[in-house]
Amino acid sequence: MYNTKLVIEYDGTNYNGFQIQSKTKNQTIQGHLERVIHTLYGEKIKSIICSRTDKGVHAKGQVINFHHSKDKFENYTLIKAMNANLPLDIRVLDAEIVDLNFHSRYHAKGKTYSYLIDNSVAHRPLWMKYSHHIPHPLDVKAMQKASTYLLGTHDFTSFKGRKGVTKSPIRTLYNIDTNAKDRYITFTIEGNGFLYNMVRIIVGTLIIVGRGQLQSHEVYEILKQKDRSFAGPTAPAHGLILEKVYY
Amino acid sequence: MYNTKLVIEYDGTNYNGFQIQSKTKNQTIQGHLERVIHTLYGEKIKSIICSRTDKGVHAKGQVINFHHSKDKFENYTLIKAMNANLPLDIRVLDAEIVDLNFHSRYHAKGKTYSYLIDNSVAHRPLWMKYSHHIPHPLDVKAMQKASTYLLGTHDFTSFKGRKGVTKSPIRTLYNIDTNAKDRYITFTIEGNGFLYNMVRIIVGTLIIVGRGQLQSHEVYEILKQKDRSFAGPTAPAHGLILEKVYY
């Protein structure tokens, strides 16, 4: 038995999220990957996903692993063979045979997400599919300050989508970087793990701060409430990119 | 009479270039702009383009100007009205009434273009439409060194596409920045003006250097030949972005 780890980039625009769902197998990224793995290895294989990104969310560094009975391909050959059979908006960037007990989700030590806001007068075409357009003025300093209240280890229940089924709501955020340049604002968020919709709810809350409808320090009050209804709205999926997973 | 200047961003993927051609009026960016200007001002108006970008080339800061008989709109209102009538992949980012004799092409003092190469094993989905994929190893230092031979004022005939009809082939390049990060290579090229296909032929030549098929210093020999056949191939349109025009 072998265990192969893949690093994948995808444009989530045209997919119903990463994870296979009963009725939408072919419109999920996992569905496409398992179809191609089946073709190449000649066996039905279940893949293990690191991050179950939602409908419309993108990734530059998603990780999966899968067990297979034969060592059929060199790493480079597997990358080429996978890509030859996948849609152009899903690409395998790296492949390697790893330890049999490696688990792409359980062994992840941390992840980085980025969220891009286009703060121009018009939603600019070049990064349109990967940015959330907000034409209103945003106070970047206030957003940056608000983000610092979320750093560290907290119960993030207030920032968890209602569909989330994770056992513990405790997560640690290592860093939130706020970069404003040329009317683009990028939040880069690193943590040991994220609850369902957590990044999008954090960004939705920071946007309310940026618009002056919430004070920076009130973000800490929201955190303490442990109640989703106190936080801001969930920012749209298409601004979110899973940048990297750390092991 | 009034003279209005517009700054425009567009994704060139679906267009036959910027300039109106006899049979493809509606598939050009200028065609769309003039259609909307006609609708808004109620008069047939010819626009003056700064840079006639080719089929498939993108822009973040294209500039046009046009003369009109009535001062009908505030700047912000004009931006909104233009964008409400344009396709989503063409956006007006700025509008202002300028001096009557302002000419978007003749008064341009300089321009910046960027060219993006995706040097990963697979053509990555997220910037696929705006990058040229080269899976082979590229010697970035050799490309950077080669680019320095092109700086300054030269006869760029060797780097001019055959269709170009400009009177003088003399241009000045102020800077070529070569940035390599995360397997993306970006060339940012600033000059007082560019001949037909000049940026794409420069990049095509630098790529040959990067692949080791040409020595860095030979780029200077090519320049001295004043003959297009000595330079490298024209790099594909979709990696090129007109970043900015200076006045």
The owner of tokens 């692949």 is B211
> Residue A57 domain-assigned?
yes
| Average pLDDT rounded to a whole number, residues B227-235 | 97
Confidence of residue B163 (pLDDT cuts 50, 70, 90): confident
Confidence of residue A107 (pLDDT cuts 50, 70, 90): very high
Round to whole Å and give the CA distance between B231 and B154: 15
Q: Which of A7-21, A64-78, A147-161 has the lowest mean pLDDT?
A: A7-21
Which element (helix H / strand E) includes A30? helix A29-41
Round to whole Å and give the CA distance between A52 and A20: 10
Position B227 scores a pLDDT of: 95
Reported ipTM: 0.91
| Average pLDDT rounded to a whole number, residues B151-170 | 90
> Residue B105 domain-assigned?
no
Position A23 scores a pLDDT of: 60
Position B120 scores a pLDDT of: 97
Q: What percentage of chain A exceeds 70 in pLDDT?
A: 97
Let me know: does B138 contact B119? Beta carbons within 8 Å. yes
Residue of higher predicted confidence among A20 and A225: A225
| Average pLDDT rounded to a whole number, residues A94-111 | 97
Let me know: does A37 contact A47? Beta carbons within 8 Å. yes
Q: What percentage of chain B exceeds 70 in pLDDT?
A: 97
The owner of tokens 């700025």 is B94
pLDDT at residue B137 is higher than 80: yes
Q: Which domain holds residue A235?
A: 110-246
Q: Looking at chain A, which residue has its C-alpha nearest residue B182?
A: A60
Whether B31 and B123 map to the same domain: the answer is no
Annotated binding site of A for substrate: 113
A 10 A CB-CB count for B42 gives: 12
Position A24 scores a pLDDT of: 57
CA A162 to chain centre: 17
Confidence of residue B166 (pLDDT cuts 50, 70, 90): confident
Q: Domain ends where: A44, A64, A98?
A: A98
Position A16 scores a pLDDT of: 83
Whether B228 and B135 map to the same domain: the answer is yes
Q: How many interchain CB pairs under 8 A, A with B?
A: 67
Integer-rounded Cα radius of gyration of chain B: 19
Nearest-neighbour CA in chain A from B115: distance (Å): 14
Position A53 scores a pLDDT of: 87
Closest by CA to B110, choosing from B31, B188, B226, B11, is B188
Q: Which of A22-36, B17-31, B123-137 has the lowest mean pLDDT?
A: B17-31
Which DSSP symbol is given to A144?
H
Interface test with A, best of B121, B131, B186 (most A CBs within 10 A): B121
Q: Looking at chain B, which residue has its C-alpha nearest residue A57?
A: B126
Position B162 scores a pLDDT of: 83
Closest by CA to A178, choosing from A206, A156, A217, is A206
List CB contacts (< 8 A) between B239 and chain A: none
pLDDT at residue B24 is higher than 60: no
In the Cβ-directed half-sphere of A171, how many Cα atoms lie within 13 Å?
A: 28
CA dihedral over B31, B35, B36, B41, signed as positive or negative? positive
Please identify which of the residues B11, B54, B99, B227 carries the catalytic annotation: B54
Closest by CA to B15, choosing from B2, B26, B4, is B26
The owner of tokens 């006609």 is B38
User: Of B83, B124, B130, which is closest to A126 when you measure between CB atoms?
Assistant: B130
| Average pLDDT rounded to a whole number, residues A97-123 | 97
Which string of DSSP letters, residue by residue, matches chain B?
-EEEEEEEEE-GGGSS-SS--TT-GGGSHHHHHHHHHHHHHSS---EEES--PPTT-EEEEEEEEEEES-----HHHHHHHHHHHS-TTEEEEEEEEE-TT--TTTT--EEEEEEEEE-SSS--STTGGG-EE--S---HHHHHHHHHTT-EEEE-GGGS-TT---S--EEEEEEEEEEEETTEEEEEEEES---TTHHHHHHHHHHHHHTTSS-TTHHHHHHHHT-GGGS-PPPPGGGEEEEEEE-
What is the average pLDDT value for chain A, to the nearest integer?
A: 94
Q: Six-digit token pair at A136?
A: 């209103």
Q: Domain ends where: A98, A121, A136?
A: A98
CA A110 to chain centre: 12
- Which residues in A have their CB inside 8 Å of a CB on B? 9-11, 58, 60, 76, 79, 83, 88-94, 120-126, 128, 130, 241
- Report helix, strand or coil for A129: helix
Confidence of residue A11 (pLDDT cuts 50, 70, 90): very high
Confidence of residue A22 (pLDDT cuts 50, 70, 90): low
Closest by CA to B223, choosing from B212, B210, B232, B213, is B232
pLDDT at residue B18 is higher than 90: no
Burial of A115 (0-12, 13-18, 19+ CB in 10 A): buried
Q: How many domains does chain A have?
A: 2
Interface test with A, best of B126, B127, B129 (most A CBs within 10 A): B126
| Average pLDDT rounded to a whole number, residues B23-52 | 88
| Inter-chain residue contact B124 with A94, CB threshold 8 Å | no
User: Of B10, B83, B123, which is closest to A91 when you measure between CB atoms?
Assistant: B123
Confidence of residue B30 (pLDDT cuts 50, 70, 90): very high
CATH number at residue A20: 3.30.70.580
Position A18 scores a pLDDT of: 72
Annotated binding site of A: 113
Q: Looking at chain B, which residue has its C-alpha nearest residue A89?
A: B125
For residues A170-191, one letter each, b for 16 or more C-beta atoms within 10 angstroms of the residue's C-beta and e for the rest, the string is ebebeebebeeeeeebbbbbbb
Whether A127 and A216 map to the same domain: the answer is yes
Round to whole Å and give the CA distance between B146 and B212: 12
Round to whole Å and give the CA distance between B49 and B65: 7
Nearest-neighbour CA in chain A from B11: distance (Å): 6
Please identify which of the residues A54, A139, A177, A182 carries the catalytic annotation: A54
**A54 in catalytic set:** yes
Confidence of residue B197 (pLDDT cuts 50, 70, 90): very high
Whether B71 and B24 map to the same domain: the answer is yes
Interface test with B, best of A91, A113, A188 (most B CBs within 10 A): A91
pLDDT at residue A162 is higher than 90: no
Position A33 scores a pLDDT of: 95
Burial of B70 (0-12, 13-18, 19+ CB in 10 A): exposed
Q: Looking at chain A, which residue has its C-alpha nearest residue B94?
A: A121
List CB contacts (< 8 A) between B76 and chain A: 121
Whether B242 and B125 map to the same domain: the answer is yes
| Average pLDDT rounded to a whole number, residues B230-244 | 97
Whether B14 and B83 map to the same domain: the answer is yes
* pLDDT tens per residue, range B41-94: 999 899 999 998 889 999 999 999 999 999 999 999 999 999 999 999 999 999
Whether A212 and A93 map to the same domain: the answer is no
Q: Six-digit token pair at A64?
A: 């999966």
Whether B88 and B127 map to the same domain: the answer is no
Which DSSP symbol is given to A120?
S
Round to whole Å and give the CA distance between A161 and A171: 14
Whether A88 and A115 map to the same domain: the answer is no
Which element (helix H / strand E) includes A114? strand A110-118
Round to whole Å and give the CA distance between A111 and A92: 19
List CB contacts (< 8 A) between B128 and chain A: 11, 88-89
What is the average pLDDT value for chain B, to the nearest integer?
A: 94
Q: Six-digit token pair at B24?
A: 């493809």
| Average pLDDT rounded to a whole number, residues A121-128 | 97
Q: What size, in residues, is chain A? A: 247
CATH number at residue B226: 3.30.70.660
pLDDT at residue A165 is higher than 80: no
Confidence of residue B26 (pLDDT cuts 50, 70, 90): low
The owner of tokens 């080669």 is B146
Whether A174 and A232 map to the same domain: the answer is yes
Q: Domain ends where: A43, A76, A98?
A: A98
Q: What percentage of chain A exceeds 90 in pLDDT?
A: 89
Whether B94 and B115 map to the same domain: the answer is no
Confidence of residue A25 (pLDDT cuts 50, 70, 90): low
| Average pLDDT rounded to a whole number, residues A8-36 | 83
Q: Six-digit token pair at A17?
A: 């999220």
| Inter-chain residue contact A123 with B11, CB threshold 8 Å | no
> Residue A103 domain-assigned?
no
pLDDT at residue B22 is higher than 90: no
Position B23 scores a pLDDT of: 60
User: Of B60, B93, B122, which is closest to A122 when you measure between CB atoms?
Assistant: B93
Round to whole Å and give the CA distance between B55 and A127: 19
Position B19 scores a pLDDT of: 75
